[in-house]
Homo-oligomer: A and B are copies of this chain.
Amino acid sequence: MPTSARRARERASTRERIIEAAVHILENEGVTALTIRRIATAVEYSAPVVYQHFANKDALVLELVAHGYRLMMAELQQAAEEADIDRRFLLLASESVRFAGEHPHLYEVMNDNTVDADERLRAAAPMIGLLRELLTTWSDAHDVILADFDEACDIVWGTLSGIASLGRIGTVGNERAQQLAQRAMHTLLRGWRADLPVNA
């Protein structure tokens, strides 16, 4: 009976369409427009149908967060191919800030506290992994031994988040925030290099 398979496919399909519609609404109209009825209308259904695919709005928003991080990783792909590790570091810093500026509402939801901290951390895992890889290759390349690797990683992550938030809300212009991110990374890395125990 192929029917049940088709049904499952349709179910997954509408689930996907709901997420896509939600992302579209969020990006174009902001978080206040992201309502269940609005989403349901966009996929030409009535509101309760959404609850057949997501337990509640938070679960749906969590999907948007995951989508956001996937999109972020995708947009960072090109920058990640830069060969020189120092340039790559700075480039990824400014590009991640650029992402926040180009997807302000999505980024807002990504850093919102309505979603569970653990879940959000899980969604951000690839990004944090990327940062870890950056830091290891950088420290290897410069023979820098970081006193506390995890600490350095969290500092980079926190710094980028903070500067990205600055650039998202309009506290400073986004292109300025991108420059800030590069400078901050530059200074941090220089600081860690100055920590070198022996050589000078």
Task: Using CB atoms and an 8 Å cutoff, list the residues of chain A in contact with chain B.
Answer: 108, 111, 113, 117, 120-121, 148, 151, 154-155, 157-166, 168-172, 176-177, 179-180, 183-184, 186-195
Contacts and interface: CB of A to CB of B under 8 A. Distances in A.
Nearest to A31: B113
Given A151-B179, A155-B184, A161-B165, 6 more contacts: A151-B180, A158-B162, A186-B191, A187-B187, A187-B192, A193-B194
A191 B186 CA distance: 8
A169 to B, nearest CB: 5
A102 B121 CA distance: 21
Given A191-B194, A193-B194, A184 B158 contact: yes
Contacts of A151: 179-180, 183
Contact of A157 (B166, B189, B190): B166
A187 B184 contact: no
B180 A191 contact: no
Q: Looking at A161, A171, A191, which has the most chain B CB atoms within 10 Å of its CB?
A: A191
A154 to B, nearest CB: 6
What's the number of copies of this chain in the assembled complex? Answer: 2
Q: Looking at A162, A190, A194, which has the most chain B CB atoms within 10 Å of its CB?
A: A162
B171 A117 contact: yes
B170 A154 contact: no
A117 B177 CA distance: 15
B194 A180 contact: no
A155 B183 contact: yes
A110 to B, nearest CB: 12
Nearest to A32: B114
Given A187-B192, A191-B186, A158 B169 contact: no
